[in-house]
Amino acid sequence: MESKPADLNITSSFVESCKNLFQSKTFLIVAGTALTTIALFGIYQKLNQKDIPLEQKSRIFIQRELQRLKNPKLIEDGILQKNDFFDIILLIQLKSKLKLLKEQPKFQRERIKVLKQALRTNVFVDYFNKTKEFMDQEVNNYEVQYEKILDGIGITHECWEQSKYVYIQRDGFFRGDDGELHSIKQVEKKSYEYLPTYNLGSSLTKERVKMILIEANKCANDIIQNHLTNWISEEDNEYVALIFEALAYDFVFIDQGIQENIFRYATHIYELQSDPEITENLQGFLSS
């Protein structure tokens, strides 16, 4: 997979939608004749050639999976098989994120401009509104890709909702057993194979990234605690965690000059999402 250098002074960035990601089965179950097996192996080899551009590799993977999942076999009560359900989740997430990559640099540039003004005036209403606006665009993009995937595969909304009720909660949070939790983590890991990667160099070590993230979370928490109550309504409660996250990544950019997608990639590579200190701090901030 091709890598891009991490330009710490780059002015563009992206904001990733705070939706949960889930596990995908990534290899075809090869069955049938020897000719079919050879053909599928050829596709597998093509996908793993390092000289294939990332965008093309992603497109081949999505098209292949859409074809494989078309008109899936349902099990009892008309729901999807577990593996098929998580595979479809991966496709929806991947397609929505790939589209957002083209739009998100503009998102953070505009957020940063509004945030700097807010820091000068100590009034953050415009920043909260701007962030909410971009979050709504991300949700809308996700829903568009969701509709396209379901239509392309040939499953009904009723089937999808019934399957979702079995495997995850309706609000998007995990409700299954340890095996399904493992599946969700594997989906997140798999999605990075089809998204841009970055050379972090020698400066963005795990300890430095962790230190920067903790400090950015503290800055974000100060803004949330002191200013969000003047803006938030009951219907906006769902945005609190997303605004907190956007603030943290914007402070990383303002204080360190590190683009959000690069910093997100670093936290993924260093597995800081599961770091006990980071998790404890986040839980403390968000619970307050």
For 241-256, the pLDDT digits (tens) are 999 999 999 999 999 9
Encode the chain in three state secondary structure.
CCEEECCCCCCCCCCCCCCCCCCCCCCCCCCCCHHHHHHHHHHHHHHCCCCCCHHHHHHHHHHHHHHHHCCCCECHHHCECHHHHHHHHHHHHHHHHHHHCCCHHHHHHHHHHHHHHHHHHCCCHHHHHHHHHHHHHHHHHHHHHHHHHHHHHCCCHHHHHHHHHHHECCCCCECCCHHHHHHHHHHHHHHHHHCCEEECCCCCCHHHHHHHHHHHHHHHHHHHHHHHHHCCCHHHHHHHHHHHHHHHHHHHHHHHCCCHHHHHHHHHHCCHHHCHHHHHHHHHHHHC
pLDDT tens digits, one per residue of 51-110: 568 888 888 999 999 999 999 999 988 999 989 999 999 999 899 888 887 788 889 999
Q: Is 15 in contact with 134 (CB distance < 8 Å)? A: yes
Looking at residue 55, what is its pLDDT? 80
Instruction: Tell me the C-alpha distance between 287 and 264, whole Å.
Output: 23
At 155 the pLDDT is: 94
* CA 148 to chain CA mean position, Å: 18
**Residue 9 pLDDT:** 40
- Tell whether the model's pLDDT for residue 131 goes beyond 90: yes
Range with the lowest mean pLDDT among 24-33, 122-131, 152-161, 273-282? Answer: 24-33
pLDDT band at 194 (very low <50, low <70, confident <90, very high): confident
Question: What predicted TM-score, i.e. pTM, was given to this entire model?
Answer: 0.74
From residue 22, alpha-carbon distances to 103, 149, 164, 249 in Å are 23, 16, 12, 23
What pLDDT band is residue 168 in, cutting at 50, 70 and 90?
Answer: confident
When pLDDT is cut at 50, 70 and 90, the band that residue 180 belongs to is low
Mean pLDDT computed over 38-57: 53
- Read off the pLDDT band of 230 (50, 70, 90): confident
Residue 27: pLDDT over 70: no
What's the N-to-C CA distance of the chain in angstroms? 41
Quick one: pLDDT at residue 177? 55
The pLDDT assigned to 175 comes to: 52
- Minimum mean pLDDT range among 12-21, 101-110, 122-131, 140-149: 12-21
